[in-house]
Amino acid sequence: MESKEFFKKFLSLYLWGNIAAMVLVVVLLCFGVKFGLDLYTHHGEGILVPNLVGKQFEDARRLLDAKGLVIEISDSGFSKKHPADCVLAQYPGTRDKVKQGHVIYVTVNSPHSPMLTIPDVIDNSSYREAEAKLTSMGFRLLKPQMVHGEKDWVYGITCRGRKLFAGDRVPVDKGLVLQIGDGTFDQGAVDVDYVEHVPDPEEHIDEYKEDDFEVVDPHEDVKTTDSDIKEQQKTEVDDSGINDF
Higher pLDDT, 129 or 192: 129
The domain tally of the chain equals 2
Q: What is the mean pLDDT of residues 121-130?
A: 94
Q: pLDDT tens digits, residue range 87-114?
A: 999 999 887 888 888 999 999 998 888 8
Of 132, 166, 181, the one marking the end of a domain is 181
Of 131, 154, 181, the one marking the end of a domain is 181
User: pLDDT at position 168, please?
Assistant: 94
Assessment of whether the complete model's pTM goes beyond 0.85: no
In a domain, 236, yes or no: no
Provide the CATH number for the domain around residue 131. 3.30.10.20
Write out the E strands in 12-153. 47-48, 70-77, 87-91, 97-98, 103-109, 115-117, 140-141, 145-147
What span, in angstroms and rounded, lies between the C-alpha atoms of 33 and 12?
32
User: pLDDT at position 176, please?
Assistant: 95
Higher pLDDT, 160 or 219: 160
Q: What is the mean pLDDT of residues 126-153?
A: 93
Residues 36 and 85 sit within 8 Å (Cβ to Cβ): no
In a domain, 198, yes or no: no
In a domain, 73, yes or no: yes
Q: pLDDT tens digits, residue range 164-188?
A: 999 999 988 889 999 999 988 654 4
Of 181, 204, 220, the one marking the end of a domain is 181
Asked if residue 123 and residue 101 are part of one domain, the reply reads: no
> What is the domain range of residue 87?
47-109
